[in-house]
Amino acid sequence: NAGVTQTPKFRILKIGQSMTLQCTQDMNHNYMYWYRQDPGMGLKLIYYSVGAGITDKGEVPNGYNVSRSTTEDFPLRLELAAPSQTSVYFCASRYEDREGYEQYFGPGTRLTVT
């Protein structure tokens, strides 16, 4: 298994540009999440999905959109990029059984908006 993969690894955007951050998992996990990590901080939840076709907002959704057309893919769309969106973005997916659950994180996308 490749686990959770993200592309691109790095990106520089100009203010007002748009882009899509890609996230794919091959573990057949239903739950997927997008977090952002600002310098020196923990992660904050942007959007999440409990399964294909179902998405919902997290704590900091403004300026972002998501879709979940398949179990494997959970892209994050930035419209009209702003400097406040400079951050590292992590995608995660979740496995659950009776023992509890684990979130598995992708390698991250480092985004700079100038």
Partner 1 sequence: ELKVEQNPLFLSMQEGKNYTIYCNYSTTSDRLYWYRQDPGKSLESLFVLLSNGAVKQEGRLMASLDTKARLSTLHITAAVHDLSATYFCAVAIMEYGNKLVFGAGTILRVKS
The rounded distance, in Å, linking the Cα atoms of 109 and 91 is 9
The C-alpha atoms of residue 17 and residue 11 are separated, in whole angstroms, by 12
Contact partners, residue 99, CB within 8 Å, separation at least 6: none
Comparison of 43 and 52: residue with beta carbon closer to partner 1? 43
Question: Which of these, 67, 81, 104, lies nearest to 11 by C-alpha position?
Answer: 81
- Judged by the rule CB under 8 A, the positions of this chain that interact with partner 1 are 31, 33, 40-45, 48-50, 56, 58-59, 90, 94, 99-108, 110
CB of 17 to partner 1, least distance (A): 24
In angstroms, what is the minimal distance from the CB of 77 to partner 1? 19
Q: Considering the complex, state which of residue 16 and residue 57 has its C-beta at the smaller distance from partner 1.
A: 57
Which of residues 62 and 99 has its CB atom nearest to partner 1 in the complex? 99
- Smallest separation (angstroms) from partner 1 to the CB of 26: 16
Residue 101 CA neighbour count, 13 Å, CB half:
11
